[in-house]
Amino acid sequence: MPPDIEAIAEHVFVALADPSRRAILAALASGGPATATDLAGRLPITRQAIAKHLALLAEAGLVTAEPGERRRVRYRLRSAPMQVAQQFLAALARDWDGPLDALRDHLSR
Amino acid sequence: MGFPDRIERVVEIAHPPAKVWAALTTAEGLGSWFGNQATIDLRPGGSAQMTWTGGHTADMRVERVEEPTVFGFTWHIYGLPDDDPRRTYVEFTLVPVGAGTRLTVVETGFAQLPEDAYRKAYDGNTQGWASELGELVDYLDAA
């Protein structure tokens, strides 16, 4: 098993475990790239706390910083790590017990 | 953390392999117990599809057909975007046990990296499954 895929998924789940970071990621997902100031205007989180969370999320590769208008840095959600985390969730969400029960019932009819 | 790559189940079914095989590999069978409707082109490389009344569709690619013992296919990883190349490999193995069948289903490839997509999803090996796998015996005694 590749070790990095596990590390990537862990970054995602750690990020999502914090309600402020979850709110920041959700805001970027729903509204697109935004600056720390934009996010502070939309979320009940101080600009300073948002900047700290964005730095952590950027380091974990979950958002990327890109130059925006008037040299203000805008943050954009990176979907690739989320898709790795989805693989993990897909394994947990896969239900074979239900279909196999249904197969048994089907053959017994 | 433990990224699960492989899921397996073993069930004992009180019907011979030929009957279980038909349930797994025909449109009529798959459309009865798995999907609500199904189509299948039963040959390696052939397409199969299951649809559910809720509107969900699963597209499969048939990989192994060794009647009546091994049936394998790959399909899309649920939840990933439709254009994502990653697929998991599902293999059913049927072993006669008395008058019934021991059916093993193994799904692998959840922990693959994107660039490994097809190779990891289906490596086409043929080792004996039944001997190496833990069994969930008595699973089906209720029937």
Is residue B70 a contact partner of residue B64, using CB atoms and an 8 Å limit? yes
* Nearest-by-Cβ selection for A100 from B14, B80, B105: B105
Widest distance between CA atoms in chain A: 71
Chain B: residues touching A (Cβ < 8 Å): 1-5, 7, 9, 11, 13-15, 19-20, 23-24, 29, 32-34, 77-81, 84, 86, 103, 105, 107, 110-114, 139-140, 143
Residue A1: what pLDDT? Answer: 46
Residues of chain A with pLDDT under 70: 1-3
Provide the β-strand partners of residue B56: none
Query: Strands B57-66 and B70-76, how do they pair?
Result: antiparallel
* Dihedral angle, C-alpha A47, A48, A54, A55, nearest 10 °: 150
Neighbours of B87 (CB within 10 A): 23
CA dist., res. A23 & res. B136, Å (int): 42
CA dist., res. B84 & res. A90, Å (int): 14
Residue A80: what pLDDT? Answer: 87
Q: Taking Cα atoms as reference points, which of B52, B50, B21 lies closest to residue B38?
A: B50
Structural domain containing residue A40: 3-108
Q: Look up the ipTM and state it.
A: 0.75
Residue B60: what pLDDT? Answer: 96
Scanning the structure block, which residue is given the tokens 């895929």?
A: A5
Domain boundaries, chain B: 6-132
* Nearest-by-Cβ selection for A91 from B4, B15, B105: B4
Domain total for chain A?
A: 1
Structure tokens belonging to residue A27: 């805001």
Which residues does B132 contact at the CB level (< 8 Å), separation at least 6?
Answer: none
CA dist., res. B12 & res. B29, Å (int): 18
Chain B residue whose CA is closest to A13: B1
User: What digits encode the pLDDT tens for the residues A89-100?
Assistant: 999 989 999 999
**A to B CB pairs, distance under 8 Å:** 97
| CB pair distance less than 8 Å for B111 and A87 | yes
User: What digits encode the pLDDT tens for the residues B62-97?
Assistant: 999 999 999 999 999 887 887 888 899 999 999 999
**What CATH number has the domain bearing residue A97?**
1.10.10.10
Average pLDDT of each block of 10 consecutive residues along chain B (143 residues)? 85 95 96 96 97 93 97 90 87 97 95 58 37 35 42
CA dist., res. B17 & res. B69, Å (int): 8
Question: pTM for the complete prediction?
Answer: 0.78
Structure tokens belonging to residue B111: 């922990």
Right CATH for B6-132 from 1.20.1250.20, 3.40.50.1820, 3.30.530.20, 3.40.50.300 = 3.30.530.20
Which residues does A45 contact at the CB level (< 8 Å), separation at least 6?
Answer: A20, A23, A24, A39, A53
Reported as type and span, the H/E element at residue A12 is helix A3-17
Cα end-to-end span (Å), chain B: 37
Residue A68: what pLDDT? Answer: 74
